[in-house]
Amino acid sequence: LGVAAHGESRPCLQLAPEATSCIIPDVQMFSMVPYILNVTTVQPWPSSSFVPFVPERIIKPDPPEGVRLSPLPGQRLWVQWEPPRSWPFPEIFALKYRIRYKHHRSPRFRQVGPIEA
């Protein structure tokens, strides 16, 4: 098991030798070059599978927390939220948010964003 990116290869760490999963350490987000995961069987005949991936397309954050609405003059609302506590280093890896809203009688949503915060 291994991962390659930027010309270097790294192992994918298994918690036990018989495990059917592994952990990829030190994944670099927002890379222009996709990673390539290599899974190889060794017995009885060697065979490999190569899976390209871009981390930010498969790593999904939890929803925002502490969503609050406050009225503003002129029939407007101020929407505030916090990044999910499970998202490490939001100041380094900023999330993008999209806000969808509609009047309860309207069939269509309106959309604002994406907003990077």
pLDDT for the residue numbered 66 = 96
Q: Which of 51, 83, 48 is nearest to 66 (CA)?
A: 83
- Percent of the chain whose pLDDT exceeds 70: 94
pTM: 0.55
Query: Taking the domains of the chain in order of start, what are their residue ranges?
Result: 2-58, 65-116
- Is the pLDDT reported for residue 28 higher than 80? no
Confidence of residue 100 (pLDDT cuts 50, 70, 90): very high
C-alpha 33, offset from chain centre: 16
